[in-house]
Amino acid sequence: MVHRSMCAAIGLAVVSLVAIGGRTSGESLGADTTYLTFNRAVALPGVALGAGTYIFELASPNGDHSLVRVSSRDRKKIYLTAFTNAIERPSNMPEDQMVTFGEASASAPPPITAWYPYGNSTGRAFIYWH
C-alpha cells in the first residue's frame, strides 16, 4: 500500500513538472489563452485527456470569466467547456506553473484542479462532482 502511494506521488510529480515545462516551451496566445503539453494522461471534470498539447482558454474573454474551454491544439475538437470558480494563485507558486493537480489512484489520470493563465494573479478552479 505504501509502495503504491509512493508510485502515485512520483507519477503526479512527473506530470506536474511536464505541465509546468509545457508552458515554458509552449506559446501564449494572450493573457487568457495557454497551450499546455502533457506527456501522459490527465483528467478534467468528465473527461480524460491523453498525452499531447491542448489549448486552455476563457470561453468568453470579454464576458463571463467563469467559463473555461479546453480544446485540441488545432481547435478542431473541444474536450471541455465548463464553469469554474475564481481562485487566487498561491503566493509560493512559480509564475510559470500553469496548472495544479489533485490526487488520483495509481490507475487513474491525475485531475487538473486549477488553471492559472500566464501572468495572472488569479486562476480558474475546475468543479468536480463526486
Each residue's pLDDT tens digit, 24-62? 233 445 668 999 999 999 999 999 999 999 999 999 877
- Residue 103 and residue 110 in contact, taking contact as beta carbons nearer than 8 Å: yes
User: CA 27 → CA 4, 10, 37, 43, 70, distances in Å?
Assistant: 35, 27, 10, 22, 15
**Confidence band of 119 (pLDDT split at 50, 70, 90):** confident
For 50, counting Cβ atoms within 10 Å of its Cβ (0-12 exposed, 13-18 middle, 19+ buried), the class is exposed
Q: What is the pTM of this model?
A: 0.76
Give the integer Cα–Cα distance in Å for 76 and 65: 22
**Confidence band of 18 (pLDDT split at 50, 70, 90):** very low
For 124, counting Cβ atoms within 10 Å of its Cβ (0-12 exposed, 13-18 middle, 19+ buried), the class is buried
